[in-house]
Every structure is written in C-alpha cells, then in structure tokens.
Amino acid sequence: MCQNPGCDAFSTRWTDPIENFDPRFTPLTCQKLDRFSRDDWRETVQRQVDIHQLAQKMKMPGSFERTENDNREALQRRQEVDKYDWAGASNKYFERLND
C-alpha cells in the first residue's frame, strides 16, 4: 500500500478491509520510493527519445520515403506471402527429413 500523502490508489482499488495488512513503509519511505520510480521512468523515456533521434539521424537517405510504386510492390509481396501454403511446405519439409 502506498502511504504517500494524497495517494488514494490503494483505497480506490481495495475497498474491503485487508486482514494481513503490513504498513511497515512510512510515508517518507513511500515518497522516496515514488521519487526513485519517477526518476527511473524519466530516464527510460529520455533513452527512448535519444534512440529515436539517433535512428532518424542515421537512416539512409531516401528511406521512409515510399513512392506509389513502392507501396504497390509491398502490397503485392504481402499478398503473395498470405497466399503461400505454409502448412503444406512445412509438411513437405518434415517428410523429407524423415526419409
């Protein structure tokens, strides 16, 4: 249970009294844990932003710029993959292994 002042997440979720409730964390400890967690989250988000920015800088010129023809070719490849008999090919492969 979070004992951070103003936090009502616990009482909102758990309306029934809990028999084995252990409030060993003081409100000050809860505040410190909350601050650490928020700092970790900020660092994680910043890393994701940095990685995204680096990826944008390092991308090949012209990548992510599709023409209508590129879109048509991608759709055609997708349709061919969807039509392929994957189960049949798998069975034939394993039949060859057993021979």
Query: What pLDDT is stored for residue 2 in this prediction?
Result: 61
List pLDDT tens digits, range 22-66.
567 777 887 888 888 899 999 999 999 999 999 888 877 766 677
Q: Is the pLDDT score of 70 beyond 90?
A: no
Termini Cα distance of the chain: 62
Q: How far is CA 56 from the centre of its chain?
A: 20
Per DSSP (E only), the strands in the chain are: none
Query: What pLDDT is stored for residue 73 in this prediction?
Result: 93
Query: What pLDDT is stored for residue 10 in this prediction?
Result: 67
Query: What pLDDT is stored for residue 16 in this prediction?
Result: 61
Amino acid at 16: D
pLDDT band at 11 (very low <50, low <70, confident <90, very high): low
DSSP output for 34-94: HHHHHHHHHHHHHHHHHHHHHHHHHSPTTTT---HHHHHHHHHHHHHHHHS-HHHHHHHHH
Question: DSSP 3-state assignment of 16?
Answer: coil
Please give the model's pTM, rounded to 2 decimal places: 0.40
Query: What pLDDT is stored for residue 97 in this prediction?
Result: 78
What phi and psi values does residue 83 have, to the nearest 5 degrees? Answer: -80, -20
